[in-house]
Chains A and B, each alone.
Chain A
Amino acid sequence: MMEQEYNSDRLLELVSAALDERLDESSQRELESLLLADEKALQEFTHFVQMHCDLGYHATSNTALQNVLESIQGNLAEGRGSAAELEALSDGEAIQLAIRTAPSADQPSVSLPAGVDDSKSKRFFRYPARITAAVLLLVGVVGIWSTTKDPSPSNPTPLVAFRPPQPVASICQLEGAKWAGETTYALGELLVEGQTLTLEEGLAYISFASGAELVMHSPSTLSLQSGDRATLTHGNVTVLAAEWASGFQVDTETLKVVDLGTKFWVSADESGSVEAHVVEGQVRVEPLTSKLAGRRSLLLSQGEGVRVEHQGDPLRRLVAQQVGFAAEFSDFRPYRPIPIHNTGVGLAWGDEDSRWRIVAGPSGGDYAGPQYAVVCQPDEEYLANVPDRSQWIAATENLRPGCTPNSTYTFETHFDLSGFDLSTVVIVGQLLADNGIKAVRINGEPIEFTPWVDNAPNQKFHKFRKVEIKQGLVSGRNKIEVDLWNGIYSSGGPSPNPMALRAEWEAYGRPIEIEEAI
């Protein structure tokens, strides 16, 4: 095999596309010639595919374990183990238990059950479940996928939150910007967490929800992690952060740069070489792969910079370049977060939430008229409370007996927009409700969204739905009302029954006065 230099990034790009099954013919040929021409390329290919397989195994191991546990419930029912014993097992141990409880040679083995998932529907990965299936099939354990999920409410699997991605930034200004592929972004367009931007030409100004303004210089690839964090894969960015945005962070492959009230720029190339330069104020840099003698991070002040040549290399101090990528921010109007309180945040079980009231609904059960909502103990079908983020609120600390079914209960909260330019305000709520949301109003005016009711047998409440407030805002005090529908099974059920709400908000806007920003 002939040894020659190859472009590792290009190779990984091709392999990644191949794994996603979107490699065209010419790219297939390119990949083949790369792999045939260089042994190191072949090695990288092998390792990359292996990582892809391992990722599938890692992410699905819990699912696979649950499948295994469910599949041997039948054996348990015959007295071959206990539920507690099973819950305590690792994936491998569960398979071993399945083997121990498999029929011995003198017992009839069990064939592949009808209904084993054989579909070819386009999913990223599902082989670990197949591996488990194959192993269990071979040793004669009762099949997996045809087993109906245990409908009892004692399913011990904790519910995982599902949240639609929140808007964390917006496009503020574009100068000759051309994006990768056919992507286009409009001025003012909201960008959501996890979104990756690849700028091929020009400049793009991005306003982050936390109050940091960032300029992407082409060519650059940047991913938005949250309102106060971005990952620079390669390219150059300049950041000017408002006073209240201190802590804004730019991650690169080798260096983490944390703003401490400043203007700075960061550049990264694909070989892992990174530079950070402080134009004003201070930043803290934390090497991710390099070593710093005796400490984890380094404080840089105005005029100072650092460079990491390659992964693992020591940090090299530089005199900061004040020009170059230090873009001008002629109209600096950073976003400022708007406090709208998530339900139950920072409170304990049983506390009244003074920011949220239940103002309307039929009397009966736990509800007797307007009152503060109370942080309640979540039902086992509810997503678990996260006190420092959001919690379920209801009429009392206990969900049962609950409230009148087939009724609407109105929850209300207020927030203040004094000092904000209303045309720039972004407010997005994520709501969970037992059993659904019929209407949301801002200052008495209904907002547009798709109402929902979750009321299936053994309904789980873990999937947040998004509600965006785009108009109807006023300067000063604003009121949000949420009409929650408390349902009941068509086949009947206890009356009264549980009724609860959980809300999380992302809200920000540009202040009218900007003098205090930096």
Chain B
Amino acid sequence: MANDNPQGEPIPTRESAEEFTNLLTANHGRIFGAIYSLVLNRADAEDLYQQTALVLWKKFDQFELGSDFGSWALKVARLTVYNFIRTKGRGRVFFSETLLETILESQEAQAPQEILARRDALQKCLQKLTPVDAKLVSRCYDGQSKIKEVAADEGRSINALYLTLHRIRKTLFRCIEHRHKMELE
């Protein structure tokens, strides 16, 4: 467990840091996915994730080891997002409060095992992409490329690139759904 320093913040020890990092790493997809689905904006989601992670760390001494870290993290994420809406204004999030609550409920109801199973299915579905599509996914999601750059490099318009990207996403999504369904059967 973390020890408090004179400012009231925990001092990281190797043990507490390791516990925390294990839990955060194991749940980061679930937490980030939940935040992202609420704000649907990359940069905001990244900032909110980071704020959430910091709050989780500061409050980590209140977390009961063995309980559901992901569920606890989603509660913190909810507060962080609502605080963000309050300070930045509703213009930054286009869903109504009713829908935000509904999305959060849906996220909380999602079993962590299902997220992992879907991630495994994604890996397999990615292997079924054609080399051209796989390369495009890699470029679009590598975190380095701006869409304009990718479109220019690929010699096509931004709209055409979005069309292709949507087609690939849909193919992957249907593939994941299919695999997941087969596994459940």
CA distance A221 to B148 in the complex (A): 23
| Cβ–Cβ < 8 Å partners of B172 in chain A | 51, 55
In angstroms, how far is the closest chain B Cβ from the Cβ of A365? Answer: 35
| Cβ–Cβ < 8 Å partners of A124 in chain B | 42, 140-143, 145, 147
Beyond A1-B102, A53-B29, A253-B174, 19 extra complex contacts between A and B, CB < 8 Å: A36-B98, A46-B103, A49-B36, A51-B118, A51-B169, A58-B126, A59-B142, A124-B140, A125-B143, A131-B49, A133-B50, A134-B50, A134-B53, A140-B17, A193-B132, A195-B156, A226-B132, A229-B130, A289-B178
Contact indicator B173/A51 (Cβ below 8 Å): yes
Number of interface residues of B (CB under 8 A): 86
* Contact stretch, chosen from B6-14, B62-70, B74-82: B6-14
Contact indicator B42/A127 (Cβ below 8 Å): yes
Interface residues of A in 37-66 (CB under 8 A from B): 42-43, 45-60, 63
Instruction: Give 1 or 0 for each of B10-41: 1 = CB within 8 Å of chain A CB.
Output: 01111001101100110011001100110011
Instruction: Give 1 or 0 for each of A52-89: 1 = CB within 8 Å of chain B CB.
Output: 11111111100100000000000000000000000000
| Cβ–Cβ < 8 Å partners of A50 in chain B | 29, 33, 37, 110, 115, 118
| Cβ–Cβ < 8 Å partners of A60 in chain B | 141-143
* CB of B184 within 8 Å of the partner chain: no
Contact indicator A105/B143 (Cβ below 8 Å): no
| Cβ–Cβ < 8 Å partners of A47 in chain B | 118, 173, 176-177
Given A46-B110, A50-B115, answer yes or no on A63-B173 (Cβ-Cβ < 8 Å).
Answer: no
Given A56-B141, A138-B20, answer yes or no on A13-B166 (Cβ-Cβ < 8 Å).
Answer: yes
CA distance A131 to B17 in the complex (A): 15
| Cβ–Cβ < 8 Å partners of B176 in chain A | 47, 51
Given A126-B143, A134-B54, A194-B132, answer yes or no on A54-B167 (Cβ-Cβ < 8 Å).
Answer: no
* CB of B83 within 8 Å of the partner chain: no
| Cβ–Cβ < 8 Å partners of A164 in chain B | 153-155
List residues of chain A with CB under 8 Å of any chain B CB: 1, 9, 12-13, 16-23, 28, 32, 35-36, 42-43, 45-60, 63, 92, 95-96, 99-100, 102-105, 109, 120-131, 133-135, 138-140, 162, 164-165, 180-181, 183, 192-196, 198, 221, 223, 225-226, 229, 231, 233, 251, 253, 272, 288-289, 311-312
Contact indicator B132/A59 (Cβ below 8 Å): no
CA distance A22 to B158 in the complex (A): 11
CA distance A193 to B134 in the complex (A): 12
In angstroms, how far is the closest chain A Cβ from the Cβ of B95? Answer: 6
Contact indicator A109/B12 (Cβ below 8 Å): yes
Q: Of the candidates A22, A102, A183, A225, which one forms a contact with B17 in the assembled complex, judged by CB atoms under 8 Å apart?
A: A102
Q: Of the candidates A35, A42, A127, A223, which one forms a contact with B46 in the assembled complex, judged by CB atoms under 8 Å apart?
A: A127
Q: Of the candidates A104, A135, A231, which one forms a contact with B14 in the assembled complex, judged by CB atoms under 8 Å apart?
A: A104
Contact indicator A126/B147 (Cβ below 8 Å): no
Contact indicator A253/B133 (Cβ below 8 Å): no
Given A59-B141, A130-B49, A192-B154, answer yes or no on A138-B118 (Cβ-Cβ < 8 Å).
Answer: no
Given A102-B12, A164-B155, answer yes or no on A16-B29 (Cβ-Cβ < 8 Å).
Answer: no
In angstroms, how far is the closest chain B Cβ from the Cβ of A134? Answer: 5
